[in-house]
Structure 1
Amino acid sequence: MFSLASTGTISRDGITNESLAHFQTAWPGEKIEKDDIFYYTYGLLHSPDYRTRYAESVYKNLPRIPRVKTAADFWAFSRAGRTLGDLHVNYETVERYPVTIKQGDLRLADIKNPEAFYRVTKWAFGKNGKEKDKTSVIYNGNITMQDIPLEAYDYVVNGKPALEWVMERQVVKVDKASGIENDANRYANETMNNPAYPLELFQPVITVSLRTMEIVRDLPKLEVME
């Protein structure tokens, strides 16, 4: 939560003192601060065990945040949440996954008009016979990405793989209600000063997706106090 003051924007935590005491009393002697609880919660919300056990609560009410049985598990979830938070907030700066470009190494290409070369209107998956081939993504007529690991699609955000959110949003699309054209290329060229931005966004999201799932697989089994 943020608010504006005369000195600029200041941040305020969303953890109450009651919540802090609730967790501190669970493991006397542990030095638990509010940010530890924040990241614990973020890590916990990524736990497959948590999502299964509290599915109804998550979808219908405010998520229930239980205390795990051991301090070791608390810190494991908190550390995981901290790493996940850094990944997800700074996803644009994460290293790009080294996909193969079917047409060749773009770093060696003589691109005379980058805005035209990298212009994207609609992404598409490759084909394996009649089936979609998600290891291959057609960015535009000049660029097809290959060797995309299928496990990257396991990272799902709001019911859809994060990679598919990129493919859906980084396009040219007219809003039916307003008639306004949303053009990802305009943002890439005018705001990011990088015509290749939509393409280059897809690659770090592959890395984020893979790392996220690695962290999720290493989370402790969920055993709660109450």
Structure 2
Amino acid sequence: MLINSVCLQHYFFPTPESEQENRVICVSDIAYRAPQFSALMTNCIADLHLCASIDAHQCFPFYTYEADGTGRRENITDWALAQFRAHYQDERISKWDIFYYIYAVLHHPSYRARFAEALKRSLPRVPFAKDFWAYARAGRQLGDLHVNYESAPEYKLREAWQRGQPEDYRVHDAMKLESSADGYALRINASLRLEGIPKEALAYKLGNRSALEWLIDQYQVKGELDEARDPNQRENPRYIVSLVKRVVYLSLETQQIIASLQPLFAVEGSAVAHS
């Protein structure tokens, strides 16, 4: 992979080993223009325009390092940890718990609605929810789901084959999303159509597109095909079809986790640390 400018990313992921232990919360930058604020967790170098081609994003890692991979430091301060423990009167709270708590808060619809204008002027500020552990658990679920999206369960979609066409799972140009009686269908190629995509799958948005629409845009064949530009995997022809099913599952599961969260503003007060 060629990267024009790594910015500070080499302090987040300086070595392959750091990708195994570190995670980063990427959020919409100040003055974002997408329809809504976005947050996405990753364990590798993130694109500047991760969730919207018209906006930049800022990354907040759990760990930072020296450029050679030494000197690992936790990016949540001891002061912030003390604030959370004091507020909730719970010494069990760890910095990782706070990290995942923040991730859940950033996904809560009422947080995004209440601070929609503020998020365009400044970095996110994190309120104290009534139930810390409910948010910490939900944030960990969301983080694990989003970081490990390529190994998520596959949602059961119907594989409809065009009569007279050879069996073919590979993408040859651009996939096409089509309306259907039970939601949506996705045309993979001239041979294969995936049916039974629930309408709710497109409700999980990352910036100006749903996660599924991002996949459709990024996993297409453009121009003359060569190995470097082929989104298909030679050793696994079903790779993109499987990924579509995983992203549908991820989209539905993400919304279910978010819907399970308790009201965010049940009590007054807010933490003063930036996420």
Deviations, residues 203-223 of structure 1 (Å, cap 9, x unaligned): 000001111111111111011
Residue correspondence of structure 1 range 41-190 to structure 2 within 5 A:
41-68=102-129, 70=130, 73-103=131-161, 111=167, 118-127=170-179, 135-174=184-223, 186-190=230-234
Answer yes or no: is the 8 Å Cα contact 1:50–1:222 preserved in 2: yes
Q: 2:244 aligns with which of 202, 205, 214?
A: 202
Measure, in 1, the Cα distance between the counterparts of 2:107 and 2:132: 14
Over residues 20-76 of structure 1, what are the superposed CA-to-partner deviations in whole Å (9 max), with x where a residue is unaligned? 1111110223411100100000000110011011112223310111112x3xx1111
| Residue 3 (structure 1) shift | 5.7
Q: Hey, what's the Cα distance between the residues in 2 that align with 1:200 and 1:142? A: 16
1:2 equivalenced with 2:12 (yes/no): yes
Unmatched 5+ stretches in structure 1: 175-179
Q: CA deviation at 1:153?
A: 0.8
Q: Find the counterpart in structure 1 of residue 264 from structure 2.
A: 222
Question: CA separation of 1:78/1:61 partners in 2, compared to 1, >3 Å: closer, same or farther?
Answer: same
Taking only the aligned residue pairs, the percentage that are identical comes to 35
- CA offset at residue 110 of structure 1? 7.8
Please, what is the CA RMSD of the aligned residues? 2.9
- Counterpart Cα distance in 2 of 1:98 and 1:54: 37
Q: Secondary structure at the match of 2:90?
A: coil
CA shift for structure 1 position 186: 2.4
Equivalent residue, structure 2, for 1:40: 101
Q: How many residues align?
A: 204
Residue 28 of structure 1 corresponds to: 89
Question: Which residue identity lines up with residue 154 of structure 1 in the other structure?
Answer: A
Evaluate the alpha carbon distance shift between residue 103 and residue 187 of structure 1 in structure 2; reply closer, same or farther with a 3 A threshold.
Answer: closer
Change in Cα spacing, 1:57 to 1:186, as seen in structure 2 (3 Å) is same
Q: 2: CA distance between counterparts of 1:162 and 1:80?
A: 19
The structure-2 alpha-carbon separation of the partners of 1:182 and 1:86, relative to structure 1 and needing over 3 Å to count, comes to: farther
Q: Which runs of 5+ in 2 are unaligned?
A: 1-10, 23-62, 64-73, 270-275
